[in-house]
Chains A and B, each alone.
Chain A
Amino acid sequence: MLKALTALAYPRLCIETGRALGHKGAVTPGACVIELENVAYSYGDGALLTQVSLTLAPGSFHFLTGPSGAGKTTLLKLCYGALHPTTGNTLFFGEDVSRMSRDAVANLRRRVGVVHQDCSFLDHLSVADNIRLPLSVAGRQAEEAREDLAELMAWVGLTERAQALPPELSGGERQRAALARAVILSPDVLLADEPTGNVDWEMSQRLLRLLVELNRMGKTVLIATHDLSLIRAAKTQVQARVLRIVGGQVQQAGADL
């Protein structure tokens, strides 16, 4: 799998040194991959997040917890530029998103893999086509990455389901397909929103192992979940920071987690 992700990778952020290796998006030396500075977000009159500051350092692993409706998904969307903060700044690789064009944000988003809870796909395309979609978007020929795609499909255990349509997949298969799609461009950071929300315990452990494996390859991982057992299981495998959203603010969780 390491070969696949390395081979598929664009010249990408060198995590160890914080230098950009030929990537179009310039990266401030030593910058965090994603940084929220005093961010607030409101839906209408209701303030959901207030004064949130968060930094995702290269190669780090984070969990984001909190009760339903606390703002986990909103915070994740702020982290990949799908939402713009009411106040405060979002920085992608050291660059202020508010000062970037939509297309520039889109280009940087290719360095951020996202796995949504609902795992949206293009239902008229096969699983393989959905997974290779980011390649097409990035202007790369699918033929160039045929072997790597096969390896990636095998890594997430979907080789046999490559030609199936997304509606034909089970919950766990959809999550794994979404994960494969999120990492096919070898992003620097992976954001996952309740990735184990619709799967059984065994599948959740399998997904967790994949996420931990990605982190060991140097990827930054942020997982929003309310599944505390998942967090406990992860902490036995990786050094993870656990954050909790309380009252619209992000706090470091206690050692009980």
Chain B
Amino acid sequence: MTWREDLRYLVLGDGQADRIVPPSGFTARLTVFAAAAMAFLAVFALALALASNRLAHRWGAELAGSSTIRIVAPETQLGQQTEAALGILETTPGVAFARALTPDEQRSLLAPWFGRDVDLQALPVPQLIEVIEEEGFDPAGLRLRLAAEVPGAVLDDHGRWRGPLLASANRLRGLGWLSTVLLAASVAAMVSLAAQASLAANAQVIAVLRLVGATDRYIAQAFVRRFTLRALGGGVLGTLAGGVAVASLPAPPESVGFLEGLGFAGADWLLTLCIPLLCAVVAFAATKTAAHRALKRLA
């Protein structure tokens, strides 16, 4: 038999063959519960992975392609140095656009720390220049020119922010996927144990089947189909419960950017359909392996 025939039997079943394994409450409940619990957790792991993915993209997109120049100078020289820096930027290759932030924009940047009514005149606040990069931008060369002509200018190309942030986001995403893999492995272990318990409890059934000429494949199929369908059922239940739980998470305040992304958006929901299927595939493989091992041992 080929895997196609295995799959055909798995989907269509065989009325008589499906009944040869007696219904066993304990292993059935264990498999359904394990699959449901793991699917529930997998929904959160998937949500975490997707949120991390979105976060990495957002941080990457927001911080990539832009730099900031900070002019730190006495108040009397601040305007002059800002003009000089903008002049340099106009003739610098790789600079698509550059502008000095307005006092209102600078005030809003400080608002989280000092409130909306901060008086910029009373604070030694540097002037910020936003730089939009394009192809050919050379931060090292620009730094040298600024150092020579605008002594109070400091170029921040966001590299020291973006690198660690992206690394963190990528690590979070990796943890999400690792959690999903570990959960799949847990499902495999639980289903494997349940299948072994069921095979051991049904040694008499196996002996009768062998007596009437059943092949190992025939015997294994009956167990495999049952456990696969149980895992699929448990996976569907767990995924539904997990989906409802994620959907009902309270919306965090707008300022908490990370939590805002934890959840599924649009087509992300379709990915959750993979979780019950993953449960079924894992159960199929685990039960098949366990059954063939047990049948070899019982031979």
Contact = CB atoms under 8 A, between A and B. Distances in A.
Given A124-B22, A129-B16, A133-B20, A103 B213 contact: no
Contacts of A39: none
B216 A132 contact: no
B260 to A, nearest CB: 54
Given A120-B207, A121-B208, A137-B209, A106 B215 contact: yes
Contacts of B23: 124
Interface string A102-132: 1100111110001010001111110001001
B211 interface: yes
A17 interface: no
A134 B20 CA distance: 11
12 contacts: A82-B210, A102-B299, A107-B215, A120-B204, A121-B208, A124-B19, A125-B20, A133-B208, A136-B17, A137-B212, A137-B214, A137-B215
A106 B208 contact: no
Contact of B217 (A103, A121, A142): A103
Contacts of B209: 133, 137
Contacts of A14: none
Contacts, number: 64
B264 to A, nearest CB: 43
B212 A134 contact: yes
Interface in B256-291: none
Contacts of B218: 137
A114 B210 CA distance: 11
B211 A110 contact: no
A219 to B, nearest CB: 16
Interface residues of B, number: 22
Given A106-B216, A121-B208, 12 more contacts: A103-B217, A109-B210, A109-B213, A110-B213, A122-B205, A124-B19, A124-B22, A132-B16, A133-B16, A136-B16, A136-B17, A181-B212
Contacts of A124: 19, 22-23
A97 to B, nearest CB: 12
B205 A103 contact: no
Main secondary structure of the interface of B (DSSP, over half): helix
Contacts of B215: 102-103, 106-107, 137
A106 B22 contact: no
B12 to A, nearest CB: 13
Nearest to A116: B211
A125 B212 CA distance: 15
A228 interface: no
Contact of B213 (A122, A123, A137): A137
Interface in B1-52: 14, 16-17, 19-20, 22-23
A133 B213 CA distance: 10
Contacts of B19: 124-125, 129
Nearest to B217: A103
Contacts of B217: 103
5 tightest Cβ-Cβ pairs between the two chains A and B: A110-B213, A136-B16, A124-B22, A103-B215, A109-B213
A138 interface: yes
B23 to A, nearest CB: 8
B132 to A, nearest CB: 70
A14 B49 CA distance: 67
A135 to B, nearest CB: 8
A176 B287 CA distance: 36
Contacts of A138: 213
Interface in A61-116: 82, 102-103, 106-110, 114, 116
Contacts of A122: 20, 22, 205, 208
A142 B16 contact: yes
A124 B201 CA distance: 14
B25 to A, nearest CB: 13
Nearest to A133: B212
A96 to B, nearest CB: 17
A107 B213 contact: yes
A110 B212 contact: yes
A83 to B, nearest CB: 11
A9 to B, nearest CB: 14
A227 B133 CA distance: 102
Contacts of A121: 208
B134 to A, nearest CB: 68
A106 B205 contact: no
Contact of B216 (A103, A109, A136, A181): A103
Contact of A106 (B14, B17, B207, B213): B213
